[in-house]
Amino acid sequence: METLELLRANLLSPAVLAFALGMVATLVRSDLRIPEALYTSLSIYLLLAIGLKGGAALAATPWSELWKPALATLALGVSTPLLSYAVLRRLGRMDVVNAAALAAHYGSVSAVTFIAANTLMQSLRQSVEGYLPTLVAILEVPAIVIALLIARRNLKGGPMGEAIREILTGRSVLLLVGGSLIGFLSGPEGLKKVAAAFVDPFQGVLVLFLLELGMVAAKRLRDLRTTGAFLIGFGLGMPVVQGALGVWLGSLAGMSVGGATVLGAMAASASYIAAPAAVRIALPQANPSYYLTASLGITFPFNLTLGIPLYFAFSRFLHGGM
């Protein structure tokens, strides 16, 4: 009954329902559109708000509490792209280029999945560590670099230096790291001064953002016919494996039930902002129908609806059924 109630609470949350509405709008060919400029503004707002809140919390967090979760996150950033690549090559018989491109996406992190997991934990009154946005920044970059290095070792890819620069200066990393630095330097008192703009409206902005992502994801569903049954299975199964690994490492690092759940959701997610930009530069021959359909059309909806409650249940189990 607790599991069913958790699923109900997640599926009937405003953010998930907005995502579903966006998908319906596309499938019924509605003329509903969110202007590109507004979508960009919403993403900038969400990433900066995450960074500000995380940096302010980090300023009040002793290093003794942070180093173990940071080390666990770095371990995830190294292991998940290698695991994804091995599965894609050995089980999926996928070529080096597309396997590396998908590994980059599944090793990195979706900031929106992180937000959704964090939001669900708050709605369930589960405390989460304030430094989690810092872990998002730690997780996002290494996996992409490792996956691109794998491809470059096996074939002559695009300019690696330009791809790495694209990752580090891309919108998601720059806003998360920069926002965290601002929040850290200004501290909790500084965050209070901008709470009316970056804390209180956060949930409403998230609903609008997921409405747009629902429309984008629905468009990718049409590509499922060309991606094959294996890629569909990969997009559903790999998040569960990596999510369980993230929850386990987070629990070993001493994180709370909610914090380990969010770390698991981060590990289970697939990037569709930083990774596509880097892959487009370093591996232009990779097929976007594979990595965009899998990350945005399969894995993101799965995590948003069923995955996060699953990681929460596993986290509670590891913490003794709390």
Q: Is residue 90 part of a domain?
A: yes
Tokens in use for 176?
Answer: 């998360």
User: Which spans in 108-169 are helix H?
Assistant: 111-123, 132-154, 160-169
DSSP secondary structure of 75-102: HHHHHHHHHHHHHHHHTS---HHHHHHH
Matching residue, tokens 């980090």: 58
The per-residue pLDDT for range 34-58, each reduced to its tens digit, is 898 998 888 889 888 888 988 888 8
pLDDT of residue 31: 93
Tokens in use for 86?
Answer: 């091995």
C-alpha distances out from residue 79 to 9, 74, 142, 242, Å: 32, 9, 10, 9
**Nearest one of 64, 54, 142 to 103, comparing CA atoms:** 142
Number of domains in the chain: 1
Query: What is the residue range of 180's domain?
Result: 2-23+33-316
Angle between helices 132-154 and 160-169 (to 10 degrees): 170
pLDDT of residue 303: 93
Is 179 in contact with 47 (CB distance < 8 Å)? yes
Q: Report d(CA 318, CA 307) in Å as an integer.
A: 17
Is 258 in contact with 123 (CB distance < 8 Å)? no
Q: Is residue 114 part of a domain?
A: yes
Q: Is residue 128 part of a domain?
A: yes
Is 119 in contact with 203 (CB distance < 8 Å)? yes
Find the angle CA(76)-CA(138)-CA(71) to the nearest 5 degrees: 55
Its pTM stands at: 0.80
pLDDT of residue 159: 66
Q: Is residue 322 part of a domain?
A: no
Q: Report d(CA 152, CA 160) in Å as an integer.
A: 8
| Residue ranges in the chain whose pLDDT is less than 70 | 1-4, 6-7, 155-160, 163, 167, 223-224, 226-227, 277, 321-322
Tokens in use for 259?
Answer: 């914090």
Q: Is residue 321 part of a domain?
A: no
Is 260 in contact with 97 (CB distance < 8 Å)? no
Is 91 in contact with 167 (CB distance < 8 Å)? no
For position 145, which CATH number holds? 1.20.1530.20
The neighbour count for residue 182, using CB atoms within 10 Å, is 17
pLDDT of residue 262: 96
263: which residues sit within 8 A by CB, 6+ positions away? Answer: 69, 72, 73, 76, 132, 135, 246, 247, 249, 250, 255
**Nearest one of 71, 43, 16, 67 to 207, comparing CA atoms:** 16
